[in-house]
Amino acid sequence: MSFPEGSLIIGDGPEVYYVQNGTRRWVPDPLTLQAVDPRSWGAVQRVPQADLLAVPAGVPLPALNDGSLSICPGGPSYFARGGQFHLVPDAETLASLPRDHVASTLTDDFVLLKAAIGDPLPSVTDTSASVAAIDAYIRSLAPLPYEPDSDTPGPLVKRPGVTEVDGVDVEVTEQRVRMSRQVSDFVEISPIPDVMYAGSAVAGVSVPGGALAPIALTRAPGQITVTTDLTLPAVRSQSKRLERPDLPSYVDALNELLDELKPTDSAAAMSYRLEKINTLEQGMVSFGLNLKGSGWNVDAKASLNGNLTHSTVFGMFSQAYYQVAFTPEGSPPQFFADDVTLDEVKAYAGPNNPPCYLSSVTYGRMVILLVDGEASSLEIKAALSGAWTAAVSGAASLSAEYKNTLARSSVTAVVIGGSSGAAGDIIEDPANNLLGWVKKQLTITADLPVTPIQYTVRYMAAPHHLVKVSRTTDPVRIVDANVYGGREAAWSGAVGEGPGCGPVGTGLRMNRGDDVTVTATGSIWAGWVFIGRNGPEGLDGPPKPWYPLPDGDGVRGSMLIGGFDNTNWFPVGGGRRFTVPAEREDGELWFRLNDDNMTNGNGRFDINVSLRRRMPVINAAG
């Protein structure tokens, strides 16, 4: 089947294509889509996947994401900034631009995208000596150090004596684990108003801890761009120039942009994540929360495993309403006014303290819960997930099973931008009150407006990489909890996306009647350009028919699944407890992603498996 010239089409996947000269050309981002056709998503036609694949693939269209560089062989080059393409005036300026996102493209594309072409970039040869000296100094400063994500286990240590659980003497084996996690999307609990805005200049040394320190120097002009899903079906954005970026001018410009966009629909960008934790600090490190204040009146490092019949779950539920991004002007990008001197910059920046700026701030509402219950972490996760789903769907009540779990739990909550502030609320009678409380907190009113919930930071030095920092903690987890004289086996490992990744065997052989507990944390990107990262629960919507597990209750694409002997797959998600059926006698437990290709993305799920052939259930383990 052929499609008319200039059609915008989409098949079963998230990729949008532009039909030109008998080929389909990938549209790399929403800004480019809007430049091709002002109707944006309203102009996209869904077609059968087979018909789409029958059209030969062509060269992708140029990207309008900030920092994208499009080079036309033998012709001009364009740099994307502030939602526009800017002609690069000369070879010296081209050499100074970042090459993180560079692509070869066609000269005629900029006729097609002429509506998105802005003014040419200034030449770096026209830069004043003072600006050039400041830029050279900033470039000379090394970025902040960080390390790869890792879990480094210490030695296994048995608790002295035995612990009685439900009248049964249990031997407990513990292990201290040093966790290190990279953070580049910072989640803010108690934002500092004077510095929490897109474009804010901050000292690099203040970024790891989250207590951002402003650089109080006069700024050079820049642009802010607001993008929101609240104007669906078309994702829209608007930009405005700030002559002197500071908080008052930012607030005025943001209010004007929001008034122009007139967002009216319900928030589309909803997400949640739940993990079992052993200390509060572990939850904050895992979720990328800034550590300058916990808000739960709990010692962040204290063990939460004192009661073996209890487990503790950390949950984060969010709705993103709009995002504001900042783009500096100039060649090279200039952050400080012409009258700012090098000595003034050195007063705020130096070795181990590179100057940075907030490149984006996401506004919305976030609810963070700390739940301790006389139930497994899987049961608590299911109850919290049920409460969130019911709240956003408008359901009147929770199921009896979920209410029973919550009735045996204590719930402490912090609402970012809500009524509690950072101090935290104790939810009395959570079985009957949690659902209504969440609904109330997610309602945006004049008294409870949206607030900054997440931000990214970039270096002022070209090529303006995202700032990544490492945060560490060393919780003690229960590895084994055996009936005195009993037996237990455990396995820990990872399943991920990327080169060389595939199904993983645990080496644990299951026998009928064995009780197996699986917990999983982490996130992956499955290689879909228009879809972000997902947790072990997978992506929204059903999987593809050719995936290892194509259907079933709770089955999703890119979720974690388990199997016996590298087949007989079943859903796992963020965790699962099950009894091995008789037909799987002497089968080995395996894990993989519910995806036909595990090599074209990145990230991993960290998995803990506990195999028990006895009672009682130890909820604190894992």
How far apart CA 250 and CA 361 sit, in angstroms, is 12
Q: Is residue 299 part of a domain?
A: yes
Q: What CATH number corresponds to the domain at position 495?
A: 2.60.120.430
Q: Which domain holds residue 74?
A: 8-121
Judge if 439 and 578 occupy the same domain.
no
Q: Which of 88, 121, 154 marks a domain boundary?
A: 121
User: CA separation (Å) from 159 to 31, 90, 279?
Assistant: 58, 69, 18
Judge if 530 and 443 occupy the same domain.
no
Check whether 123 has a pLDDT greater than 80. yes
Check whether 398 has a pLDDT greater than 60. yes
How far apart CA 532 and CA 196 sit, in angstroms, is 24
Q: Is residue 237 part of a domain?
A: no
How does residue 234 score in pLDDT terms, banded at 50, 70 and 90?
very low
How does residue 484 score in pLDDT terms, banded at 50, 70 and 90?
low
User: CA separation (Å) from 110 to 70, 81, 621?
Assistant: 10, 15, 59
Structure token pair of residue 23: 């080929």
Q: Is residue 235 part of a domain?
A: no
Q: Is residue 227 part of a domain?
A: no
pLDDT tens-digit map of 61-90? 999 987 789 999 989 999 998 789 999 999
Q: What is the pLDDT of residue 321?
A: 82
Check whether 23 has a pLDDT greater than 90. yes
Q: What is the pLDDT of residue 230?
A: 46
pLDDT tens-digit map of 354-367? 999 999 999 888 88
Q: What is the pLDDT of residue 574?
A: 92
How does residue 233 score in pLDDT terms, banded at 50, 70 and 90?
very low
Q: Is residue 519 part of a domain?
A: yes
Judge if 404 and 535 occupy the same domain.
no
Judge if 367 and 493 occupy the same domain.
no
Judge if 551 and 601 occupy the same domain.
yes
Q: What is the pLDDT of residue 453?
A: 87
Judge if 418 and 311 occupy the same domain.
yes
In the sheet that 575-579 helps form, which strands lie side by side, from edge to edge? 488-496, 602-612, 515-525, 575-579
How does residue 264 score in pLDDT terms, banded at 50, 70 and 90?
low
Judge if 393 and 277 occupy the same domain.
yes
How far apart CA 388 and CA 438 sit, in angstroms, is 7
Check whether 425 has a pLDDT greater than 60. no
Check whether 487 has a pLDDT greater than 70. no
| Listed ranges 292-301, 371-380, 435-444; the one with the highest mean pLDDT | 371-380
Q: What is the pLDDT of residue 506?
A: 96
Q: What is the pLDDT of residue 126?
A: 84
How far apart CA 456 and CA 186 sit, in angstroms, is 6
Judge if 291 and 439 occupy the same domain.
yes
136 Cβ neighbours under 8 A, 6+ residues apart: none
Residues 1-11: what's their mean pLDDT? 91
Q: Is residue 157 part of a domain?
A: no
In eight-state DSSP terms, residue 439 is H
User: CA separation (Å) from 7 to 17, 106, 551?
Assistant: 8, 19, 33
Residues 541-568: what's their mean pLDDT? 93
Q: Where are the beta strands (DSSP E) in 349-442?
A: 355-373, 409-416, 421-426
Residue 386, CB half-sphere, CA atoms under 13 Å: how many?
Answer: 20
Check whether 168 has a pLDDT greater than 60. no
Q: What is the pLDDT of residue 445?
A: 60
Judge if 27 and 77 occupy the same domain.
yes
The residue with greater pLDDT, 60 or 92, is: 60
Report the sign of the C-alpha dihedral through residues 417, 420, 426, 428, in that order. negative
Q: Which of 121, 137, 163 marks a domain boundary?
A: 121
- This prediction's pTM: 0.68
How does residue 133 score in pLDDT terms, banded at 50, 70 and 90?
very high
| Alpha helices, H only, 82-236 | 91-96, 109-112, 129-140
Q: What is the pLDDT of residue 137?
A: 96
554 dihedral zone (left: phi>0; alpha: psi -120 to 50; beta): left
Task: Tell me how many domains the chain contains.
Answer: 3
Least confident interval from 110-124, 177-191, 398-412, 473-487: 473-487
Q: Is residue 342 part of a domain?
A: no
Q: What is the pLDDT of residue 415?
A: 74
Least confident interval from 37-41, 56-60, 145-149: 37-41
Q: Where are the beta strands (DSSP E) in 567-601?
A: 567-571, 575-579, 587-593
Check whether 29 has a pLDDT greater than 80. yes
How does residue 422 score in pLDDT terms, banded at 50, 70 and 90?
very low
- Quote the percentage of the chain above a pLDDT of 90: 47
Residues 183-195: what's their mean pLDDT? 84
The residue with greater pLDDT, 587 or 614, is: 587
Q: What is the pLDDT of residue 187?
A: 85
| Listed ranges 16-30, 307-321, 324-338, 411-425; the one with the highest mean pLDDT | 16-30
Among 70, 72, 75, smallest CA distance to 32 is for 70
Q: Do 420 and 451 contact (CB within 8 A), yes or no?
A: no
Judge if 426 and 532 occupy the same domain.
no
User: CA separation (Å) from 296 to 5, 189, 434?
Assistant: 58, 11, 17
How does residue 231 score in pLDDT terms, banded at 50, 70 and 90?
very low
Residues 487-513: what's their mean pLDDT? 88
The residue with greater pLDDT, 19 or 270, is: 19
How far apart CA 480 and CA 489 sit, in angstroms, is 8
Q: What CATH number corresponds to the domain at position 413?
A: 3.40.30
Longest CA pairwise span in the chain (Å): 81
φ, ψ of residue 389 to 5 degrees: the values are -60, -40
Among 410, 423, 386, 404, smallest CA distance to 311 is for 410
φ, ψ of residue 287 to 5 degrees: the values are -95, 0
The residue with greater pLDDT, 417 or 55, is: 55
What end-to-end distance do the CA atoms of the chain give, in Å? 54
Judge if 439 and 308 occupy the same domain.
yes
How does residue 92 score in pLDDT terms, banded at 50, 70 and 90?
confident
Q: What is the pLDDT of residue 423?
A: 40
The residue with greater pLDDT, 554 or 421, is: 554
pLDDT tens-digit map of 33-55? 989 999 888 899 999 999 999 99
Tell me, rounded to whole angstroms, the distance of Cα 465 from its chain centroid.
Answer: 17
Q: What is the pLDDT of residue 232?
A: 43
- Quote the percentage of the chain above a pLDDT of 70: 90
Judge if 444 and 540 occupy the same domain.
no
591 Cβ neighbours under 8 A, 6+ residues apart: 493, 495, 503, 504, 506, 560, 561, 562, 563, 572, 607
Structure token pair of residue 259: 């008034």
The residue with greater pLDDT, 386 or 163, is: 386
How far apart CA 481 and CA 173 sit, in angstroms, is 6
Q: Do 378 and 575 contact (CB within 8 A), yes or no?
A: yes
The mean pLDDT of the chain is: 86
Structure token pair of residue 138: 């900033």
Q: Do 458 and 464 contact (CB within 8 A), yes or no?
A: yes
Q: Is residue 205 part of a domain?
A: no
The residue with greater pLDDT, 412 or 191, is: 412
In eight-state DSSP terms, residue 137 is H
Among 120, 98, 43, smallest CA distance to 464 is for 98
Q: Which of 456, 476, 506 marks a domain boundary?
A: 456
